[in-house]
Chains A and B, each alone.
Chain A
């Protein structure tokens, strides 16, 4: 029972971080139709900018987080303006490849400035052991879960209620119709990249707190694909459910079966979902016409 509980909490906290990373991915896909292979690198850049501000420059945690947010917004907007905008109307393969190129460039930049050595960050959350139903859980796992939950709720509310969120949903639904009612599609594109970078930043900080700040954070980014396919590429609630599911699956497989198998288990789920229900559990089925 105690193993189950601790795997469950670990899975949920990792899943919540995954959901945050994947949410940024879904945002970009929904609004701009771009599959962003650089989401993992956004995570990496986010973690390292926060590390720079918090550890190297010794800013207070709130200021450091704000610096990270500002940097993420700037990077997101620049990427949209100079790399993705020239690609409008190109084929899928070109757009996928341009984000792969971007991923290479971003991780190379991080490597140039920080090298490949893992760095440890002072704990952001208390790490005392808590006992829940016989299992010993470090408290920071629960804090991570709490913060990710709050951010996910805020972002969901933002889409449902705020003016900009509604504009983003309108653009996602039909670009031309959105233009005719006076929504600036360009601004929405920029906004969605900026928001994606910010959600990746928060995911990066949380992930860095439970692991370390290192280049391998990128590999976590590839896991967004099983998440978004499971939840549906264009569904925000689906992403959250998908993130938690994938997090739980990989923890349970690692705990009960084999840690090596846990690396591929999400992808096996992905293939199964693609074969049975390609548009995901919550995704919208689209009909294609010639």
Chain B
């Protein structure tokens, strides 16, 4: 057998800039696409609802990763920004009669603007101080959501009517399937736009700021503009996730956007891989299915040791903390890195590197 080429070599700039490089990569994309298409025909509503939740989480996680993983601006305010997107879209659709697609776009724009507003401290702060500043923004946004009676008309929650797009209304009987189709299309679009973003000069500037902001500004990157753009882009995605969440779950209240949600999303991008679009999706899937896996495991064990059954909420909680710690200690670059290593092992075989 002829010698096999090991590793990937680019001979032209065009080949380096291409979205996919190798045939196995194309085959993998094909396999994932086929799986994604057959999912709604194979799984029942319970699993589909989980898949839909995971897809919405993927969009939010991609948004957060743009900010945290690619630009290096730590944000603990994810829950608050999701709330902005969700409430904007819900109120526009239900109380003002704006068509859903338009209200979602307006939610995206609103969240981006509010994101920039709360991103202003990032111009002076970084690292730990920025983390604490965004923590404050989370508390302040949630306080406004809880106390501003206009938002929920004093009920504490907002009912959202069933999604209607251009006269096409989602049916009750095939609710999950139709949502799955909508969400998978949106997620793919989001993933592609985000991947493309990092092939442009704006995206490169984000990464330069992450790696060393002072050096980046010495090279001519406008720090103010770059950081605020990062907040805007990131929160646009987060607003989209929030708006979709509002329309999908059809009822929203402040409890869905607490500090725990912010932490959950950070956990997603840590577990998936900071600075990786694919990683955000892996992380969102992982963190959505982790509690389910723990519960199923608990039911199996619970047959033998009944005490475990009673402790399940606490066990889920503990598993969450433990997963974050274990990933950070043993694989800080997340699932994406593990997958990368598996691919490299076969790609470079029989050599180690």
Contacts and interface: CB of A to CB of B under 8 A. Distances in A.
Interface in A60-113: 83, 86-87, 90, 92-94, 96-98, 100-109, 111-112
B318 A108 contact: yes
B125 interface: yes
Contacts of A275: 121, 124
A86 B331 CA distance: 11
Contacts of A174: none
Contacts of A226: 136
Contact of A96 (B131, B140, B317, B332): B131
Contacts of A100: 263, 266-267, 324
B132 A225 contact: yes
A109 B325 CA distance: 15
Interface stretch (B26-34, B226-234, B249-257, B307-315): B307-315
A101 B332 CA distance: 13
B112 interface: no
A261 B146 CA distance: 11
A1 interface: no
Nearest to A260: B147
Interface string B311-335: 1011101101111110011001000
B214 to A, nearest CB: 5
B133 A93 contact: no
Contacts, number: 127
A35 interface: yes
Interface in B204-231: 212, 214-215, 218
Interface residues of B, number: 45
Contacts of B267: 97, 100-101
B211 to A, nearest CB: 11
A151 interface: no
Q: Max chain A CB contacts within 10 Å: which of B212, B315, B317, B328?
A: B328
A104 B324 contact: yes
A267 B259 CA distance: 14
Interface in A266-288: 267-268, 270-271, 274-275, 278, 288
A264 interface: yes
Contacts of A98: 324-325, 328-329
Interface in B87-142: 121, 124-125, 127-129, 131-133, 135-137, 139-140
